[in-house]
Amino acid sequence: MNKKLSPSDGGCWFCNREILDNESCGFTLEFDAWLHIECLEKEVASLIKANNEWNDCETEIIAKEFYGENFRETFKYNPL
């Protein structure tokens, strides 16, 4: 069972759950934090479904770091 941890203690930036060895994860240099790739993809997809209103600056910064400047188009045409 994943325990809750803050990102500064090794938890996921988005869900605050412990990062386990068998999970697909990444590290954001912008925020010096670990994250589950699945959590990032869910956050990006939910923002796109909300009519592309990008008011979550942290998610946008991390998405650009992982997927490049054109990440919106990638997710828009390949929804999760």
CATH number at residue 14: 3.30.40
Count of domains observed in the chain: 1
pTM: 0.81
In a domain, 68, yes or no: yes
Instruction: Decide which of 39 and 54 is more confident.
Output: 39
Confidence of residue 32 (pLDDT cuts 50, 70, 90): very high
pLDDT at 14: 95
Rounded to an integer, what distance in angstroms lies between the CA atom of residue 52 and that of residue 60?
Answer: 11
Q: Which residues of 17-45 are buried (b: 16+ CB within 10 A; e: fewer)?
A: bbbeeeeebbebeeeebbbbeebbbebbe
In a domain, 1, yes or no: no
Expressed as residue numbers, the domain containing 52 is 7-77
Q: Is 37 a residue whose pLDDT tops 90?
A: yes
Q: Which two tokens stand for residue 76?
A: 């828009």
In a domain, 47, yes or no: yes
Condensed to tens digits (0 to 9), the pLDDT of residues 57-74 reads: 898 899 999 988 888 777
Rounded to an integer, what distance in angstroms lies between the CA atom of residue 19 and that of residue 38?
Answer: 12
Mean pLDDT of 27-50: 89
In a domain, 2, yes or no: no
Tokens 């909300």, residue located: 50
In a domain, 56, yes or no: yes
